[in-house]
């Protein structure tokens, strides 16, 4: 991976079911990760967690000579997992998963955030937009024909999630105090308490399959960036 690249590795988790492979995934997890998996009450959530942990660990080991099971992590003050060992590295990652899909983004020494959503889930999109989005975004969703509202809602939602994940601050950044314009390349604007430079960010949107939308946020520092997306199955 070159310094001007961001790599996206994704796996359709419903397609990973071979018992021997899943057992190998379990062997990669730390005791804390295994304990967290057991706390999920729904089998689908336990499976999603297992595939997600395998994807993160094997993705990092593509770029750094560390066995997948050896990586250690700890949350930052806002809860985002960060690499803590076994070595110091300038490799950065971000993980997102939704029903049927897990995505891991990786880059060298830059802020990145990725969000993926299953767009088949029902919702009161106008209500949610007015509750969580900036006024201009909510007005845009509400102005659209009903059949277009879902797609545009998820464009905004994934973009906003990718930005707050890249910043590593979660909902400590109020969703209503920054807004996107959905041009060919999405652009961001800030208001209120958020101090940031819109020119240093690049955002990318894509569909993965028929049910999923993805957004990626990258702090570029005004430099060109190349995004490479690849489907994978961990350990295959």
CATH fold of the domain at 5-231: Ribosomal Protein L22; Chain A (3.90.470)
Nearest of 210, 9, 192 to residue 96 by alpha carbon: 9
pLDDT at 44 (0 to 100): 95
pLDDT at 191 (0 to 100): 87
What are the boundaries of each domain within the chain?
5-231
pLDDT at 58 (0 to 100): 98
pLDDT at 171 (0 to 100): 80
pLDDT at 170 (0 to 100): 84
Cβ 46 vs Cβ 141: under 8 Å: no
In tens digits, what is the pLDDT along the chain, a chain of 236 residues? 999 999 999 999 999 999 999 999 999 999 999 999 999 999 999 999 999 999 999 999 999 999 999 999 999 988 899 999 999 999 999 999 999 999 999 999 999 999 999 999 888 999 999 999 999 999 999 999 999 999 999 999 999 999 999 999 888 889 999 999 998 889 999 987 888 999 999 999 999 999 999 999 999 987 789 999 999 999 99
Nearest of 211, 197, 100 to residue 154 by alpha carbon: 211
Q: Which two tokens stand for residue 195?
A: 């101090």
pLDDT at 193 (0 to 100): 83
pTM: 0.95
pLDDT at 109 (0 to 100): 95
pLDDT at 224 (0 to 100): 86
Q: Which two tokens stand for residue 201?
A: 């960010």
- Classify residue 193 by burial, with Cβ atoms within 10 Å: 0-12, 13-18, 19+: exposed
CA angle at residue 3 from 200 to 228, to 5 degrees? 85
pLDDT at 46 (0 to 100): 97
CA angle at residue 23 from 21 to 24, to 5 degrees? 65
């Amino acid at each position: 991976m070159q310094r001007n690249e961001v790599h996206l590795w994704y796996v359709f988790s419903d397609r990973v079911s071979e018992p021997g492979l899943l057992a190998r995934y379990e062997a990669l997890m730390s005791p804390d990760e295994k304990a967290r998996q057991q706390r999920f009450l729904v089998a689908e959530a336990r499976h999603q967690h297992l595939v997600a942990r395998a994807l993160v660990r094997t993705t990092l080991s593509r770029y750094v000579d560390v066995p997948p099971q050896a990586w250690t992590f700890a949350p930052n003050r806002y809860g985002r997992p960060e690499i803590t060992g076994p070595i110091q590295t300038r490799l950065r990652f971000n993980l997102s998963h939704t029903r049927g899909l897990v995505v891991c983004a990786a880059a060298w020494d830059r802020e990145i955030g990725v969000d993926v959503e299953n767009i088949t889930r029902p919702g009161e999109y106008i209500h949610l937009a007015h509750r969580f989005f900036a006024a201009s975004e909510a007005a845009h969703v509400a102005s659209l024909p009903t059949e277009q509202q879902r797609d545009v809602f998820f464009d905004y939602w994934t973009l906003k999630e990718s930005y707050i994940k890249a910043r590593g601050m979660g909902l400590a950044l109020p969703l209503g105090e920054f807004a996107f314009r959905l041009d060919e390349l999405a652009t961001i604007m800030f208001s209120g308490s958020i101090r940031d430079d819109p020119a240093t960010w690049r955002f990318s949107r894509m569909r993965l399959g028929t049910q999923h939308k993805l957004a990626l946020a990258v702090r570029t520092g005004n430099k060109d960036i190349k995004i490479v997306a690849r489907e994978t199955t961990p350990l295959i």
